[in-house]
Structures are given as structure tokens and as C-alpha cells.
Structure 1
């Protein structure tokens, strides 16, 4: 009896471990609140919103198109290659099969980076086509591996007998060889399709702006906070697989199925339907891969922070100007910079932070703006243009977009003391209840200010002291996060979190127990601005885009959506809610900013030192 109970308990435990996460995901797909940390009631709106979400639908279509196309092409090439290899002598076949197996044993990241460098070297624009070529490349070995065993089982005498009976070589091949190796071809296709469908690494390195598969889309969502629509999509994918499994397991035996199924129906199901699906994906894939080029000069490629613009603004811009927006997001300045520096992708307009703009100017990566194309810059306050001169001396390269501070967000029900100093982030009683920014400059800036130094310090002794303090703090930190701090603080998962002021406004609207403070030691006052890279192909369109964003009503739309402070004074006048327009979080008094500084670019050597010390902290 005990043995029987343990067996059942083990089975139930396995099922819980397997399906509890999926059940959680399904429940969240019906949560009326955008945050996973708060139940807002039952709703089905995310499923409706899913099919209205152009980005997710494009990612889904791209995923299926690339998976089917790459699998089909790789199966064709791989099958032909396998036949050729099987005809070789034993020694040559062994060598070729060894070379073929290397890509399967090689790390995906090596393959991905290698293909990316190859495409850049031959000046191939990264996009749909490069992803497709990359997927075909890494799928071919899997097809060869699937087909070769079936070729070994094929009898050459059967093929020769067909020739003796009057069949041509092609007829003998199609009627004798193909049926024998068909199971291998089918398994190779399915394996290639599955590998392509699930791939992230190679896709990540070979994709261009505006092109996402589900894997890259989900990755970017996780970095900034997954949208509820993604829960809905994952639920539908799970149910589709579940239904398919039921149908497969309930299918009658082959002989019985042939008796019951009408011949015409069999032909429709087995041949016509797959052919139509293949044609649909092929036509759609060709259209999708060429659609970005159709726009020609009427296009602008935007590279912006995640969740940093109202999607409706992009739609309005396209409708009013006829310029197509290709939109891509990044998580940190440090992720954005190498892409611009490499020149692998020619972005037209980018939104870096102050110190990174200074670095890009110093390294000659930016084009001077033509302010005749940006007349709406008159709406930007003189205060912010003057502050921008700290990193753009003559305001020649940048136009302010958003600004704010870095401070501490704390839960008043979990912290019963006055919070006015960075020192609380090192208080042992809040162990596992502290969230730190996963950003090298922010983490060191906080620590340097706490120690009484400048957040732009390049003094090695001061930096080593900050490193030791961050290392000492690490056991107290629950997690190093970026945008995820919002959900965790809203859901009462932590007592204290380092956060940007704009995020604080949103979190307070979701959880009134949260309070934001700029510590007395001072902090960072930052400005994110629009710039145009020197290799931009659509500079005038980029300036038209910046000008559009400087329009008061558009700046107000973005402020309402992202809740980050706007430098657009005309837009601030449009804010109807007095509490928001006069918010000390969004628009702090000069007194609150007395000890605050703006990040500066410290030079490549010091930048490398910061990164080295940050890796040292994270590795402990």
C-alpha cells in the first residue's frame, strides 16, 4: 500500500512540476491587470488584443515562415547532399560526415556570431533573408543525419532492377529510392522545422531591425516585462499542441483509415493542403522580406528603449507623413552602443542617455542635426537644452526626449523608518528584500554618491572602495533588475528598489503603499535624447520623426503612456491633472537636485575599468 501511494505521489509531483508553470501562465492570460503581481479580475481582452498586436502577429508569422521555408529548403539540399555522400568511397564519406557533424556539436553562439560577421563582411543587410539563410545553414546537417541511415538500408540492386526493366534513372530514383528514404526525409524535415521554430541564439545575431521571431520577441519582453498578450499567445500555442496530440493519438490505424477515407479527401489532406500552406508561407515570406525595401526613402528605422513610446504615436506618424516606421528596442546603453559602433545595422534615429551621447560624439558616430527640419524644438525648455550642453557642447547632435532621476522606491508597509539615504540599501534587516539596477553606471553611481564621491569618479581607490561595498551588499540583494523592478515592487515582492523616477509614478498608481525618494547624498539626473547615427540612410526622415515627437500633443501622449518627465514645456502645460503636472517625482524642485549629477563619458579605458569591476561584483 505504501509502495502504491509513493508511486502515485511521485506521478502527481512530476505532473505538478511539468504543468504548474503552464497553468500559471494560462491563469495570467485572463488577468485583467497588466502586472503579474496583481489580480485585477477575470478578462478575455488580452486574447482580443493579441490579434490586434501587430508586433506579436508579425513575430508569429515570421517564426512560422522561416521555420517552414528553412526546413523545406534544408531538406531538399540535405537530401541531395546525403545521396552524394553515400555514393562516395568509405574514407571520403567518413571525412565529409565528420565535417558535417561539426556544426551540430558546435555551440550555437559560435555559429550565430560567425554568420553575423560573414553577412557584415559581404555587406549583406541583416533582416529576414539573413535569418532564413542562417537557419538553412544550421538545419542542413540535421537533415543529412536523418537521411543517411535510410540510404544505408536501401538496396542498390532494386534501383538497378528498375533500370533493367526500362525505367529511366530519374524514374527509378523517384519510384524506388525516394520511397525507401522517405521516412528519413520526413523526420529530417520535422527535425529542421522544430530546430528552426525554437531557435533564439542564431536568430538573435542575424536579425535586423523590425524583424522578430517569437523567441527574440519573448526574450525582449522578459528583459522589460512580459506583456499579457504574450501569455495569451503561449496559452493558444499550448492548447494547439495539446489538441494535435489528442488527434494524433485518436487517429485509427493506417489500414482502417484508408478504408474510411475517400481517395479525393486523402489527396486534399496529404498533398493539396500542404502545398497550399507552403505556397502561402513562401509568398508571405517573400513579401515580408521585401516589404522594408519597398518603402525606399519613405522609411525611418528607430532604435529606442523598451516601453518608451506610445505605439499610437508611431501609427499617427505613419498616417500623417507616409513614412514607414521600423521600430526596435534595447534594454541598456551598453547593449545599444556596440550595434551602432559596428555599423552592422544602419539605424536612422536612436535614443541614448547623456553620457553615452558624449561617447558617441567623441567616437564620431553621430551626424549633426539640421534644425531647419526640427522647428518644434522651440517647445523644449531652455533649462534642458542648457543641461544637454554637458554632453553635447553646442546642441548640435541631440534633442532631449525624457529626463528624470534615480532614487529609492520603498514599500511603506514593509519599511517602518524614514528613508532618506542610500545607506538603507546596505541594511542587513532588509536582506533578500532589496532590488538593485542591473546597470554598471547606475550601480556604481549610487555607491559612489553614498561614499561621498562623484558618480563620475575615475579615481581607482574610490572605484575599488565602491567595488568592495557593492560586493558586501550582494548577499542582501534579492535580484539585479531593469524594468522588472516595477512588477516586483507592485506585487510587494521586495521592500526596497532602485528605480527611475518615471517608473515610480506608474508603480504608485498600481500600489499606493509605494513611496519614492531622492537620497540626501544625491543621485543621477539623466537626460535621454534623440540622435542620428552617421551611417543613417534616411536622415531627413529621422529629423521629421524627431520634429513630430517635439510636437506638444505628441509629447503629452508619450508622457501619459510612459510617465517619464518631459522636457517639452508646451506639453507639460497640456497636463490636466494638477497632481501630475506638479508632481515632485516627475518635476522635482531645484532643492531636491542640489547634490545630483549627470553621468559623463569617462573614456574607453575608464569605461572598461567600470565594466571589469562590475563583472567582479557580479561573479562573487
Structure 2
């Protein structure tokens, strides 16, 4: 009795561990609130917006097309290769198999970087074609691995007999050998399809702008907060697989003469033949044709006039891109990144020719110093007149002559606190070291932001390169670490909205959004000062559509467009004419979004400190994180 109960308990526990996350995901897909930290009531609107979300649907189409086409091509090549390997002498066969297995034993990141460098060396433009070639390449060894065992089981005498009877080698192969190795070929196809469908690392290194698979799209969403549409998509995919499995396992069979074991075998063979001969080819044709129409219309819309934009996630109103395309006829190829440090190597490598990029202040300086930026022709950006002089002057700290950049959005870094959890005045960074808030403090997972906070608290510049000052900051961060609930980036927003923490270091634009969702939250710039950051538009030196890039920047400087951006991002706009268009006076005069000069008296802008000091900061940050 006890043993039986223990078995049931164990089984229930396994099911909970396996399916609790999936159930949570399904529930969140019906949450009307955009944030997972707040239940806004039951609704199905995310399923509607899922199919209206062009980015997600693009990623889904791309994923299916690449998985099916790469699996099909890899299956053909891999099967032919397996036949060739089987015909080799034992020594050569062993050597060839050893070489073939290397890609499977290699780390994905090594394969991904190697393929990227190969494509760059041969001057391939990174994009859909390079992803497809990469997926075919890493899928072939898996097909060979699946087909070879079946080839070893085939009877060579039957094939030779067919030749003796007058059959051609091709006819003999397809009539005698291929039916025997069909299960291995089918397994290889399914394995290749699954590997391609799930791949992230290799795709990440070989993709170009405007091309995303579901894996790369989900990755880019994670650091800025997954869109609810992703929950809906995942739910649909899970239910689809579940229904297919149920159909496969409950498919009726009309045979009632054979034994149960023979019936089961017959079912499997019939199902395998049906799937491989009917379902798979039909699915391939449908997806390829649909994808062909999709990409054809997409590319024809793009024409020869386009601008390739590289921007932070959730950092522009999508309607602005549509409006720009309609007004100018220039197609926007849009790609997102999560941090300056992810963006910079892509620009530095020159692997992709982006036309417009939006780095932060210190990164603009670094790019100027490393000769990566082109001068902007301001005669073609007349709307620069709407960018307020104080911000153009502030920009001189990283772009001394205002030749390479145009301020886009600005803000501060401060403390967001929950008034129901914090019962004392918050005016200093010191509260982040108060032990009574243990496990209720959120810090930014960013080396410059975290060290900047600590350096300002100690009374130093957030651009300090003094080793003693940096070591002091490091020790203070290590001392604080037991009090920190988590080092996060955009997740501060959801955690604070959901009352999961009392204090969090956050960007001012995010603070305003959190207040709209949770009125108990308050934002403050500590008295010691903070970071006044400015993100600016720049044009890389290898941009292929520089004039279109200048038109794009000019468009964003228009007051009505700046106001549209503010409404969507809630980040501060350096455009007083655009600010006047904000209807809500409370928002227009909000000191979080538009701080007064006295709020910024001790604030600084981050500067690029040189590669050596960058390495020093990163080393000290690793020491903090590893403790």
C-alpha cells in the first residue's frame, strides 16, 4: 500500500515538474495585462495580436522554411554521403566517419563562429541564405549517422541480383535498397528538422539584419521582457504537438486478422509511409510556396531603396517605421540588440553593413575614436533644429564637434522604491546597502551602471579610472551582494510592478511605465548624483545607404514623430516642440521624464575610458559576480 502510494506520489511529482511551467505559460497567454507580475483578467487578445505581429510571424515563417528546406537538402546529401561511406574500404571508412563526427562533437559556438568567418571571408552577405547554408552543414552528419546503420543491414546480394537481371543502378537502388533504408532516411530527416528548429547559437552568428528565427527572436525578447504574444505562440505550438501525438497514438486500424504485435508493426509502417510520402512533402510544398510568396512580396516591397536600422529593443514606436516607409518609399530593415557591448563587435567586424545605429554616449565616443562612424551631412537633416541646444551641448562630451551623432532619447539612472515597503526617506544610494532590505534589492546587471552607482555613493566620478577608487567600489559591491535579490536589466520593471522587491536601480523611462502600472512606486535621483545618459543616432562608416540613413534621422527629429516615440517608449525626448504636443500636462511636466536643472546638478555622462580601463572594469565586475 505504502509502496503504491509512493509510486503515485513520485509520478505526480514528475508530472508537476514537467508540466507546471507549461501550464503557467498557458495561463499567462490569457492574462490581459502585459506584465506577468500582474493579473489583469482573462482575455484572448494576445492570440489575436499574435497573428497581427509581423515580427513574430516573420520569425515563425523563417523558422519553418529553414527547418524544412535544410532538413530536406541535408537528407539528400547525407543519404548520398552515407552510401559513399558504406562503399569505402574499412580504413578509409573509419577515417571519414571520424571527420564526419567532428561537427557533432564540436561546441555549437565554435561551429557558429567558424561558419560566420567563412561567410565573411567569401564576402557572403549574412542573412537568410547564410542561415540556410549553416543549417544544411550541421545537419548532414546527423543524417549520415541515421542512415549508415540501415545500410549495414541491407543485403548486397539482392541489389547485385537486380543488376544481373538487367535493372539500372538507379532503378535497382530505388526499388531494392531505398525501401530498406527508408526508416533511417526518415529518422535522419526528422532529426535534421528538429535540430534546425531548435538551433540558436549557430543561427545567431550567421544571421543578418531583418532575419530572425523563433529562437533568436525569443532570445532578444528575454532580456527586455517577453511579449505576451510569445506565450500565445508557445501555447499553440504545444497544443499542436499534443494533438498530433494523440492522433498518432489513437489512429484506428482496420486489420483484425493479424496478431496484435503484427498489427502494431503494420500501423507503424503505414503511418511512417503516410507521413514520409504524403504529409512531409505536402508540408514542405505549402511552407515553401507560402514562404516564397511572403519573401517575394517582402523583397519587392523593399525594392532597391532601403535603410538598415540597428536599435535597442522596444525603443521605437513600430507605427513610426510604417509611417516612414509610406512617406518616403524607403523600406526599413529593422534589427534589435540588448546592450552596447553586444552591438559594438558587430559594427567593428564590418560583417553587416548597418545604416543607422543607436548607441549610448560613451559608446559613440568609442566608435568615433576607433574610426567606425561617418560624418552626418546636416544639410540633409534640417530637423536637427528641433533638438534642444542643452542636449546638443551635453552631446559634446562624447562627440566634441557634434559631427557624428544626433541625440534621440535621454534619461537618468535612479532608485525605484515601493512606498508600502520602504518607510523612510529615499535620497541616497546608501539605502541599497541597508541590511533590513536584504533579498529585496534589485541591481542592474551592467558593469558601468553598477560601478557608476557605487562610485557616486563613495563621492567619486562614475568615469573614474583610479585603481584604488575602483577597488573600493568593488569591495563595497561584494559587501552588498548578500543583500541583492538579483542582478537584472529590464526585469526590474516587472519585479517592481509585482511587488517582488522594495528597491531597484532603474532607468527613468522604465520608472514612469512602472508607476502607471503600480501607483505605490516612486522614483528618485539620489543626492550624490547619477548618470545622465543620452542615446544618439549614428551612421557607421560602412553604411551602404547613407542618404536614406540621413532621411531616417531627419524624420525622427520631427516634433510629431518625437511625440509618437514618447507615447510608446515613455523615455524622455530632447525635443521641446515635441514635448509641447504631449496633451497630458502631468506627463508633460513630470520630473522623472523631464527633470529640472537642480535634479541633474551632480549627474555625469558616461565616457569611453579606453580599452585597458574597459578590461579593468570587466575584470573587477567578474570578481564581484563570482563571489
In which range does the TM-score fall when normalised by the shorter chain? over 0.9
2:20 aligned residue: 20
2:603 aligned residue: 596
2:182 aligned residue: 182
Per-residue Cα deviation, 1:191-244 (whole angstroms, up to 9, x for no partner): 000011011111111111111111111111111000000000000000001100
Q: Distance in 2 between matches of 1:269 and 1:572?
A: 60
Q: Distance in 1 between matches of 2:290 and 2:310?
A: 26
Per-residue Cα deviation, 1:331-386 (whole angstroms, up to 9, x for no partner): 11111111111111111000011111011001100000011211111111111111
Shift of 1:436: 0.7
2:58 aligned residue: 58
1:82, 1:147 within 8 Å by CA — same for their partners in 2?
A: yes
1:162, 1:172 within 8 Å by CA — same for their partners in 2?
A: yes
Task: Indicate yes or no: 2:390 matched with 1:383.
Answer: yes
Shift of 1:58: 0.5
Shift of 1:252: 2.5
Q: Distance in 2 between matches of 1:225 and 1:267?
A: 43
Q: Distance in 2 between matches of 1:519 and 1:268?
A: 68
Shift of 1:285: 5.1
Shift of 1:287: 6.1
Q: Distance in 1 between matches of 2:275 and 2:244?
A: 15
Q: Distance in 2 between matches of 1:330 and 1:41?
A: 32
CA separation of 1:103 and 1:461: change in aligned 2, threshold 3 A: same
2:82 aligned residue: 82
Shift of 1:123: 1.2
Normalization by structure 1: what TM-score?
0.97
Per-residue Cα deviation, 1:552-606 (whole angstroms, up to 9, x for no partner): 1111011011101100111000011111111010111111111111111111111
Q: Distance in 2 between matches of 1:231 and 1:95?
A: 47
Task: Indicate yes or no: 2:596 matched with 1:553.
Answer: no
2:309 aligned residue: 302
2:149 aligned residue: 149
2:186, 2:276 within 8 Å by CA — same for their partners in 1?
A: no
CA separation of 1:383 and 1:266: change in aligned 2, threshold 3 A: closer
CA separation of 1:532 and 1:457: change in aligned 2, threshold 3 A: same
1:540 aligned residue: 547
Specify which of 308, 317, 323 is matched with residue 330 of structure 2.
323
1:112-131 matched pairs, under 5 angstroms: 112-131=112-131
Specify which of 307, 319, 323 is matched with residue 312 of structure 1.
319
1:43-442 matched pairs, under 5 angstroms: 43-253=43-253, 255=255, 271=277, 274-284=280-290, 295=302, 297-442=304-449
Per-residue Cα deviation, 1:96-132 (whole angstroms, up to 9, x for no partner): 1111111111111111111111111111111111111
Q: Distance in 2 between matches of 1:73 and 1:469?
A: 57
Q: Distance in 2 between matches of 1:497 and 1:369?
A: 38
1:297, 1:538 within 8 Å by CA — same for their partners in 2?
A: no
Q: Which runs of 5+ in 1 are unaligned?
A: none
Moved more, 104-113 or 273-282: 273-282
Q: Distance in 1 between matches of 2:622 and 2:521?
A: 31
CA separation of 1:296 and 1:25: change in aligned 2, threshold 3 A: same
CA separation of 1:293 and 1:603: change in aligned 2, threshold 3 A: farther
RMSD of Structure 2 on Structure 1 (CA): 1.9
Shift of 1:283: 4.1
